[in-house]
């Protein structure tokens, strides 16, 4: 399953507009890594904007999740990165506002794959219990919640390791509401 996720994500990242923006972002990360002057300037811009000074993460072509981390890190540092690139007039590294918006969207698209990959790589759980049955239903939140509620009721899958904490809590809340509603209906019948 992890291999299939890797292939799917790689295919998405190879789309022309995404690949162009990612390669520019990678070039910017490499530039700051190899230029102490610009790296120092980036750090000073980060401090000036009240951000924690961090280096941009560079991706590794064989690991898609490193691309995800690079995009997440750069998205948080968009303003100082853009400021330094404009100040230094390095137009080859400059991402347009459309490309920054695209990177934000890519970040949100890749997050479920990151969560699924983490769940699959956990040693405490067999991989057969990791995949969510709702994965095939995409963005339909009602189906997602319903199917994960069914998984929660199965003792084998009750920990919902493939979901982030927000969704786990949503599933628990739904089960509790259903139980309260069921007990009310039972009392009304008496």
Residue 79: closest CA among 107, 55, 45: 45
Q: What is the reported pLDDT for 129? A: 46
Query: Which residues of the chain fall short of a pLDDT of 50?
Result: 127-130
Please write the tens of the pLDDT for every residue from 1-31.
677 777 888 888 888 988 998 889 899 888 8
Q: What is the reported pLDDT for 32? A: 85
Please state, in angstroms and rounded to a whole number, the distance separating the CA atoms of residues 155 and 128. 14
Q: How many CB atoms lie within 10 A of CB 32?
A: 23
Q: Per the structure block, which two tokens stand in for 75?
A: 């998205």
Strand partners, 63: 60
CA distances from 138 to 148, 152, 166 (A): 13, 19, 17
Q: What is the reported pLDDT for 138? A: 58
User: What is the value of pTM for the model shown?
Assistant: 0.61
Report which secondary-structure segment, H or E, holds 140.
none
């Amino acid at each position: 399953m992890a291999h299939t996720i890797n292939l799917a994500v790689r295919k998405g990242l190879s789309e022309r507009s995404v690949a162009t923006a990612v390669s520019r972002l990678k070039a910017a990360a490499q530039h700051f890594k190899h230029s102490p002057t610009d790296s120092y300037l980036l750090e000073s811009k980060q401090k000036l904007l009240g951000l924690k000074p961090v280096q941009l993460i560079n991706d590794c072509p064989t690991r898609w999740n490193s691309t995800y981390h690079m995009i997440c890190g750069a998205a948080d540092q968009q303003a100082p990165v853009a400021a330094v690139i404009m100040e230094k007039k390095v137009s080859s590294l400059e991402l347009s506002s459309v490309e920054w918006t695209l990177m934000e969207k890519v970040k949100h698209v890749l997050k479920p794959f990151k969560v699924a990959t983490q769940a699959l790589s956990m040693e405490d759980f067999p991989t057969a219990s990791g995949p969510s049955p709702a994965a095939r239903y995409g963005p339909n939140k009602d189906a997602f919640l319903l199917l994960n509620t069914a998984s929660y009721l199965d003792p084998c899958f009750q920990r919902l390791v493939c979901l982030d904490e927000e969704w786990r809590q949503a599933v628990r809340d739904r089960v509790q509401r259903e139980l309260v509603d069921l007990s009310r209906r039972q009392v009304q019948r008496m």
